[in-house]
Amino acid sequence: MKSLRQAFRQIFFSLLLAACPWGAARAQSAAAPAEVTAVRAGHMLDVESGRLVADAVVLIENGRIKAAGARLAVPAGARVIDLGGAATLLPGLIDTHTHLLLSLQGAASDEASNMFLTVSQMSTAKRVLLGAAMGREMLEAGFTTVRDLGNSGVAGDLALRDAVLAGWVVGPRIIAATRSLAPIGGQFGRLTPEAQKLVEQEYVIVNSVEEARRLTRQSLYDGAMWIKIIVSSDNRSLSSEEVKTIVEEAHRVGRRVAAHAADDGAARLAVEAGVDSIEHGYDVSDEVLRLMAAKRVFLVPTDGPAESYPLPDAEQPEQRGRAKRHIDALVEGNRDRLRRAAKAGVPLAFGSDMYYRLPGLTRGQASLLTLRAYSAAGLTPLQIIRMATSSAAEMLGVSELVGSMKPGRYADLIAVEGDPLADLGLLERAAFVMKGGQVVKAARQPQQPVGR
């Protein structure tokens, strides 16, 4: 079986071939000379060195970066895209924790009911269509690669990934995890025996070590590029032996494991079992953070500012006030955890975990609100940009393909008007987006959320 890197290369090569909708890119003759595109901008941010390069030129051939630097000579006959002296080029952004096939409506405080309604009222096919809209909104906001971590019905995320690969729909590169492996009940509350069948639409239930092994193999066979596990939920937990078995099976074939772990006990169990990323880690202790740093286990802090959490209707002032106090406490706690993680040297990657509809915002715009939360925790703009580019690519195991503007990487670029190291908020207003050498967005037109 291919290694993780080989699998990514094969899938991303397919993405390149399908870069033009409906496979138009395949019409080019193999004997015809490749067209070179030159993208010019006032500056380019080298995310690894943190240096702004003036008079930037990026040369692109066959969807990949051929060269990038200052005042490079543009070959005769090249197509030139001049973004102007105020523009700064960056690598395409990476969101390592998305749920494209989920768009809840209502207050965040009523999440269990909102989730139950989605699973009971929407087929997987309908959710794939929703995911196509969410994916396009993410791409237009500057996210050229995402890791989608389940809550996608039965193989819905794989169907969406393949639709993007085939050029049927426009969206980011999708690293799909399929259904999460979870303890009984998944992330639902207590359900009747009849309603428990709905859990199977979202989670694969693990009840023994042998099931952990078999179900991990099944997920990998089905096409999972990462394995997502729910370590614990509502006092129901996978055992240490079950998690170790899942990790062992995934690592044996070069795949990685992401662990939903909100509390310290779950995070410790997952880290000691050898997972590759901790999702959330809201209540993780300094001791576990030090262990994560030592083992180089990534933290994906799915934090948002207060405005990213939907509140109950204004007609419910008491509930609204109670929910707001809870959200404020959560936001402050997240800031403290992120400060401690950064101080401990834990590797960090951007993850929005956005799955709610926020009025007036596209999915991509709502996901970018996470930048504000990271900034409020005291991280520098460069640290945050790396979390969404080079560090995210490192965690995903695709640094040779995305996450920087080095030669050989895919031509996934965004441009903002100004210096993002001085004003991180510019990333919320990308004026230019390119994926695989194909221009997705070239003007500052207002982005409108789709009707849903």
Instruction: Tell whether the model's pLDDT for residue 316 goes beyond 80.
Output: no
pLDDT, greater one: 365 or 24: 365
SS3 content of the chain, % helix, strand, coil (to 5): 40, 20, 40
pLDDT in tens, 375-424: 999 999 999 999 999 999 999 999 999 999 999 999 999 999 999 999 99
Q: Is there a contact between 120 and 198 (Cβ–Cβ < 8 Å)?
A: yes
Contact 393, 402 (CB under 8 A): yes
pLDDT in tens, 18-66: 333 323 333 333 445 679 999 999 999 999 999 999 999 999 999 999 9
The stretch 13-18 carries a mean pLDDT of 40
pTM: 0.91
Q: CA–CA separation, 207 vs 79, rounded Å?
A: 58
**Which 3 state secondary structure label does DSSP give 418?**
coil
**298 and 347 in contact (C-beta within 8 Å)?**
yes
Average pLDDT, stretch 64-88? 97
Share of the chain above pLDDT 70, in %: 90
Percent of the chain whose pLDDT exceeds 90: 77
